[in-house]
Amino acid sequence: MRNRLYTPFICFALAIVSIAEISAQEKFFRAIGTPHEPKVEVSWNRYNTYDGVVDIMQKIAKAYPNLTRLESIGKSVEGRDIWLLAISDFKTGNPDKKPAMYIDGNIHSNEIQGAEFSLYTAWYLTEMFDDLDFINELLKDKTFYIVPTINPDARDNYMKEPNTPHSPRSGMLVLDNDGDGEAGEDRFDDLNNDNHITMMIRKSPTGRFIKDPQDSRRLIRVEPEQQGEYEMLGFEGVDRDGDGRVNEDGIGYYDPNRDWGWKWQPDYVQRGAYKYPFSLPETRAVADFVMKHPNIAGAQSYHNYGGMILRGPGAEEDLDTYNREDIRIYDAIAKKGEEMIPGYRYLVVYKDLYSVFGGELDWFYAGRGIYTYTNELMVSYLYFHKNEGRGNQEEELKVDKYLTFGDAFVEWEEYNHPQFGTIEVGGFKKNFSRAHPGFLLEQDAHRNMAFTIYHGYHTPKLSVLDVEEKNIGNGLREITATIYNERLMPTHSSQDLKYNIERPDYVALSGVNVVAGMVVENADFNIVKEQTHNPQKMEVENIPGMGTVKVRWIVSGGGNYSIKVDSAKGGLVEWKK
């Protein structure tokens, strides 16, 4: 009787489950390389405001509580939280003791896609943890600290307020840029209310430009002896303060990427520097976090644009800081990156880009000993598989004609300007050129992520490879442990060793009475260096990449013992007998 009553219900329930399963199986077929039916659904072909970024981070944290920790590392100028996701297998050791990879984006507020690329990384790692052995092992060994936007205020300003593709770049502090004692009194004006700051042109008998008869979007310069029709008046704006200049004092200006504490220089040497290193709350929040997390061994910062994998030095004056041993590792990782991200080139900031004092990557490397790259995301190559360089107008007009069908351009339209009279306003939108169009976003995010995974993978991985024990008479034993680092990066970069930035690695023996301790510098010829003070806890200055270190103790008495390796950037390893 009862059975009969329940049976239909059970059948019904089963039917629902199987329908759900069937529908998934029928509707989707797994694509290699992408999480299939992820717990957190995200569209990777659009951009997210600050609220959108936080929403995705919260969803990931909620879906994967054993793989993530969501924390605010500080507040921005306008009081927004700067959120960080720590991603690791939290069941296999303290994530803040594992070798770690730090990733941030969007330090320049208009360089938005770094946030999406960072988020994609967090999403991919968590969604693939159960699917792929490689990712599973990676998160057992490592921690990824991911901060999608370290400039949240101005990210929102870029998106929500009228801007050019290049503004605000700084954060939202408003400084006096023209030295007149007033701050931000002459900003852009969105004359045509389209939320984009485009260009102003005006018909003039002395103008040197005409509209291209083949393509009216384009202004072309006339021959020297020809009469033109238009003059260029710059970005949309009016002279608000009556000093005869337009748009000369907007939001900012300072550059958060000139605010870092290695060989920092003031504004007259390095334009964009603020008051002193970490005088901005956003950069200070990152610096404080990094100082408290010496386990960070690799770092990545996302900018746009131009398709570059950049390393320091930022300034020629700092050339000596990057020494040969460390450059070898930089080269090995970045050259692999060039293969993973077609169109991107591995370059050095000071000689291939421009000179920067007080940049983030220099502080991470020179100030903290962390191998760090900056990627300039988005490159012309992605459009037509030709590298036409940055800001190639011909190519951009072609892209908007054949690939984006006019979505990127504001057609010229007349406007009555209070100072210039009748003008025309138009041009490329702020979210074109520097920012990827949606259809190119996911692929480039994945490739850049793959590069950071490769980078993170090659942070040190330590193990106790071998322990030899020898009886040397008089109740004494000689114990020799070989510690192996099976990845590219040493536990201390040579910059780190030069300044003792991070403490030495400790190899500690416990359970037996230690008579003497020494580092074996050459096992074949028994060349050793004794440590007289506290020999049970041997201090090893470095464990090289793809190399070993041997530590030896002379101990008295019998019994079992254990060996603990404790390295700030190499993690914790224990061996027991």
Partner 1 sequence: MLNFPIAESFSLFLVSNHLFDYRKPTFNMKQRILCGVLFFTGILFLAAQNDYPTNQQINQRLQSLNNDRTTTLTSLVKTEGGQDIWVLKIGTGDLDNKPAIAIVGGAEGFHVLSVELALQFAERLVSNHKKALETTTFYIFPNMSPDAYAQYHASLKYERRGNAAKVDHDRDGSVSEDPYEDLNNDGLITQVRVESPLGDHKTHPEDARVLVKANRNKGEGGSYQVYSEGVDNDKDEKFNEDPAEGIAFNKSLTYKFPVFEPFAGDYPVSQPESRALLDYLFDQWNIFAFVTFSPANNLSEPLKHNAQEAKKRVVASMLEKDVALNKMVSELYNKTISQKAFQQDNQGTDGDFFQWAYFHFGRLSFSTPGWWVPEVKADKPENGEGEEKPEKPKEKPTVTKESNFMAWADREGLTNVFVPWQTVTHPDFPNQKVEAGGIKPFVMHNPPYAMVDSIALEHTNFILEFAKMQPKLEFHNVKVEKLSGGLSRITADLYNNSPLPTHSEMGEKSRWLRKIRIDITKDKEEVLAGNTINLIDKMDAFESKTMSWIVKGSGNVEIKAGAAHAGFAVLNVKL
Axis crossing angle, helix 152-160 with helix 50-63, rounded to the nearest 10: 120
How many other C-beta atoms can be found within 10 angstroms of the C-beta atom of residue 444?
A: 25
501 binds partner 1 (CB under 8 A): yes
Among 194, 229, 241, 338, binds partner 1 (CB under 8 A): 241
Residue closer to partner 1 by CB (options 81, 239) is 239
The nearer residue to partner 1, 169 or 436, going by C-beta atoms, is 169
Determine the interface stretch with partner 1 among 100-108, 147-155, 241-249, 513-521 (rule: CB under 8 A): 241-249
The yes or no reply on residue 277 touching partner 1 (CB under 8 A) is yes
Q: Which is nearer to partner 1, 132 or 175 (CB)?
A: 175
Half-sphere exposure of 376 (CA within 13 A, CB side): 22
Q: Which of 6, 276, 384, 439 binds partner 1 (CB under 8 A)?
A: 276
Query: Is there binding between residue 530 and partner 1 (CB under 8 A)?
Result: no
Q: Give the DSSP H or E segment for 290.
A: helix 281-292
Cβ at position 178, least distance to partner 1 in Å? 7
φ and ψ of 126, to 5 deg = -75, -45
C-beta of 77: minimal distance to partner 1 in Å?
14
With CB under 8 A as the contact rule, the residue among 171, 312, 456, 504 that binds partner 1 is 504
Where does 285-408 show beta strands of DSSP type E? 296-304, 308-311, 345-348, 371-377
The distance of closest approach from Cβ of residue 576 to partner 1 in the complex, given in angstroms and rounded to an integer, is 25
CA torsion sign, 201 to 205 to 210 to 216?
positive
Taking the complex as a whole, the smallest distance from the CB of residue 263 to partner 1 amounts, in Å, to 8
Which string of b and e fits 279-300 if b means at least 16 CB within 10 Å? ebbbbbbbbebbeebbbbbbbb
**In whole angstroms, how close is the CB of 535 to partner 1 at the nearest point?**
11
Touching partner 1, residues 246-265 (CB under 8 A): 261-262, 264-265
**Rounded Cα–Cα distance for residues 267 and 136 (Å):** 46
- Listed ranges 58-66, 202-210, 242-250, 462-470: which one lies at the site for partner 1 (CB under 8 A): 242-250
Query: Helix (H, G, I), strand (E, B), or coil: what is residue 495?
Result: helix
Shorter beta-carbon distance to partner 1: residue 181 or 205: 181
Span of 10-18, 274-282, 427-435, 543-551 interacting with partner 1 by CB under 8 A: 274-282
Beta bridge partners of 179: none
Q: Are 276 and 313 in contact (CB under 8 A)?
A: no
Count of chain residues binding partner 1 (CB under 8 A): 37
The residue from 78, 190, 267, 388 that contacts partner 1 (CB under 8 A) is: 267
Site for partner 1 in 153-192 (CB under 8 A): 175-176, 178-181
**Preceding omega of 253 cis (within 30 degrees of 0):** yes
Interatomic CA distance for residues 509 and 555, integer angstroms: 10
Site residues (CB under 8 A) for partner 1, limited to 351-390: 357, 363, 367
What is the rounded CA–CA span in Å between residue 492 and residue 489?
A: 8
224 binds partner 1 (CB under 8 A): no
Q: Which is nearer to partner 1, 2 or 529 (CB)?
A: 529
DSSP, collapsed to helix, strand or coil, labels residue 104 as strand
Task: Extract the tokens encoding 232.
Answer: 């260029």
Contact residue for partner 1 among 242, 418, 473, 558 (CB under 8 A): 242
Residue type, 429: K
CB atoms closer than 10 angstroms to residue 14: 10
Nearer to partner 1 among residue 148 and residue 504 (C-beta): 504
* Binding test (CB under 8 A) with partner 1, winner from 49, 279, 323, 463: 279
Kindly tell me which of 264 and 330 has the beta carbon lying closer to partner 1: 264
Instruction: Choose between 171 and 427: whose C-beta lies nearer to partner 1.
Output: 171
Q: Which of 376, 424, 442, 502 is catalytic?
A: 376
Binding-site member from 287, 296, 483, 519 for partner 1 (CB under 8 A): 287
For the question of residue 396 being annotated catalytic, the response is: no
Q: What is the DSSP letter of 364?
A: I
Determine phi and psi for 372, rounding to 5 degrees.
-135, 140
Beta bridge partners of 102: 145, 299
Nearest distance from C-beta of residue 313 to partner 1, angstroms: 13
Query: Identity (one letter) of the amino acid at 571?
Result: G
* Options 16, 19, 24, 269; binder of partner 1; rule CB under 8 A: 269
CB of 336 to partner 1, least distance (A): 31
Which CB, 35 or 367, lies closer to partner 1?
367
CA distances from 307 to 169, 302, 371, 388 (A): 18, 11, 19, 11
H-helix or E-strand spanning residue 233: strand 230-235
Closest CA to 311 of 86, 495, 544: 495
- Show which residues are catalytic: 376
Q: Summarize as ranges the residues that interact with partner 1 (CB under 8 A).
A: 175-176, 178-181, 241-244, 261-262, 264-269, 275-279, 287, 291, 317, 357, 363, 367, 499-501, 503-504, 532-533, 539
